[in-house]
Chain A
Amino acid sequence: MLNEPISAGPSAMQRKLHWAIISVATLATLFLFIGLVSGSVVTYSLIAAIVILCGGLVSQRFSLSSHWHCAFLFCTVSHVAAVFLLVHLNTLGGSLGEHVDSTLFSQTGFWLCVIAAWLAAWLCVEHLSAIHTLSKATNLLLAVLIPLIFGIWILLLW
């Protein structure tokens, strides 16, 4: 839309987001670990946080200049994390309102993990949007996929 020259790698904003996701995932892991140690049943969320953290690190390490790779990475990472987070919510399901097992750390950790997962999904969308191809078929696929992922994640957030 902006008639700007096409750059090959991640843009400045995307790189900032990469670092953001690593920091949030690290914090989440930390909090959840403390929560786990102090007795809360937060295993699933902890796994999710670790998954996101690994994804973030991998994206940095290999300095993936291909948008497809980055998008795929973040897509898998975010959806896997989402599954784990939902399972965690499910296990809490019966005791909603009782907050028996949750400490401040585990609660904060959980929400941080949610934020990190959402960031991962957003980065997936960002990378998908940065792909420039001439193939009409690919463009069509992307035009459907991107809003779909975005919508799913609004739903998941809710």
Chain B
Amino acid sequence: MTETNVPSTSTVTEHAEGDTSAGLNNEPSSRRVIDINDLSLTFQTSDGPVYALSDIDLDINRGDFVSFIGPSGCGKTTLLRVIADLEQPTKGDVRVNGMTAQQARLQRAYGYVFQAAALYPWRTIAKNVALPLEIMGLSAAERKKRVANNLALVNLDGFEKKYPWQLSGGMQQRASIARALAVEPDLLLMDEPFGALDEIVRDHLNEQLLSLWAKTNKTIVFVTHSIPEAVYLSTHIVVMSPRPGRIHDVIRSDLPTQRTLDIRESPEFLALANRVRDGLRASHSYDEDE
């Protein structure tokens, strides 16, 4: 908890536009988990080039909870995939833990969670969570231990022998998170993980995710299109704009790290949410399609 030195005032500190080169907290670069410089990604399609990402500069430090928010097509998922080495940039570079994105992927430095749970229907929950561990080549005893630990972390202990189709959507997503945590990465990349769930389940899972973050102190990069979710969960909110995909603003949140759901009624929260909404509006996110 002491690592994120967020002052406990109730004012919101807005970061100046474009001035992200020194890091979000002005921390030394050894604490930088993700370091993105001048990143661009252009897709060549039969209809012409698509500028998915354009001149992205971003730094993320250890222990941050960073949300990418923006409308569809602003490149937030693409940016996450570039960090995960699932897409290759056409310009600029990405460093994860000081290594290239590919090296980080080969070393399994992160866990990835998709919007769909992507559990294997022919495996039990326990075997699903054990999948990355099998690929890593861990012993059976070690696998069993980690599976038990991580299922307990997401409050799914007791469901080891069930099949995915026997679980509700929220529980499947929790199993998916447990699977991402099983390799014990320091970095968690989540692509709209609660997007397909209803609001009640989503609130519950938001709470659980926050307590998990507090307990394990991981760095989390979270893609969402929900403003309340972004403001509730994050220490930093990256507002992105579409066509071409670029970062419009990075907003630092000064809400206390111990948050309950009630904080969503507080004036500080609403001010932050308005700040995010203004950013989205200013970046033409609410415009009609040209």
Q: When A and B assemble into the complex, do they touch directly, with CB atoms less than 8 Å apart?
A: yes
B211 in contact (CB, < 8 A): no
Contact with A along B75-91 (1 / 0, CB 8 A): 00000000000001000
* Bound complex: CA A81 to CA B180 (Å): 55
- List the 5 closest pairs (A to B, CB-CB), nearest first: A134-B46, A5-B88, A134-B44, A134-B45, A136-B46
CB closest chain-A residue, reference B47: A134
A49 CB to closest chain B CB (Å) equals: 42
Q: How large is the interface on B (under 10, 10 to 19, 20 to 34, 35 or more residues)?
A: under 10
Chain A proximity mask over B237-266: 1 for CB below 8 Å, otherwise 0: 000000000000000000000000000000
Number of A residues near B (Cβ < 8 Å) is 3
Residues of A within 8 A of B88 (CB): 5
CA distance A134 to B47 in the complex (A): 10
For residues 95 through 133 of chain A, which have their beta carbon under 8 Å from a beta carbon of chain B? none
Report A140 CB to chain B, min CB distance, Å.
14
**Beta-carbon contacts of B26-58 to A below 8 Å, as 1s and 0s?**
000000000000000000111000000000000
Taken residue by residue from 127 to 158, chain A's Cβ proximity to chain B (1 for < 8 Å, 0 otherwise) reads as: 00000001010000000000000000000000
| Closest-CB distance, B48 to chain A (whole angstroms) | 10
Closest chain B residue to A132, Cβ basis: B44
Residues of A within 8 A of B44 (CB): 134
Closest to A5 in B: B88
Q: How far is the CA of A5 from the CA of B44 in the complex (A)?
A: 14
Residues of B within 8 A of A5 (CB): 88
Nearest-neighbour CB distance to chain A for B84, whole angstroms, equals 13
- 5 interchain pairs, CB-CB under 8 A: A5-B88, A134-B44, A134-B45, A134-B46, A136-B46
- Complex CA–CA separation, A5 to B89 (angstroms): 12
Could you tell me the distance between the alpha carbons of A5 and B45 in the complex, rounded to whole angstroms? Answer: 16
Cα-based distance from A5 to B105 in the complex (angstroms): 14
Complex interface: chain A residues within 8 A of B45 (CB): 134
Closest to B88 in A: A5
A136 closest partner in B (C-beta) = B46
Cβ < 8 Å to B, chain A residues 4-23: 5
Query: What's the least CB distance linking A8 to chain B, in Å?
Result: 11
Chain B residue numbers with a CB within 8 Å of A134 are 44-46
Closest to A6 in B: B88
CB A131 to nearest CB in B, in angstroms, measures 14
Point out the residues of chain B lying under 8 angstroms from A136, CB to CB: 46
Nearest CB of A to B231, in Å: 35
A126→B197 CA distance, assembly (Å): 46
Task: Kindly report which residue of chain A lies nearest to residue B46, judged by CB atoms.
Answer: A134
| CB-based nearest B residue for A135 | B46
**A-side contacts of B46, CB under 8 Å:** 134, 136
Complex Cα distance, B88 from A134, in Å, reads 19
Q: Mark B150-191, 1 if CB is under 8 A from A, else 0.
A: 000000000000000000000000000000000000000000
CA distance A152 to B88 in the complex (A): 39
CA distance A136 to B46 in the complex (A): 9
Q: Once the chains are docked, how many angstroms separate the CA of A5 from the CA of B46?
A: 18
**Which B residues between 56 and 105 are near A, CB-CB below 8 angstroms?**
88
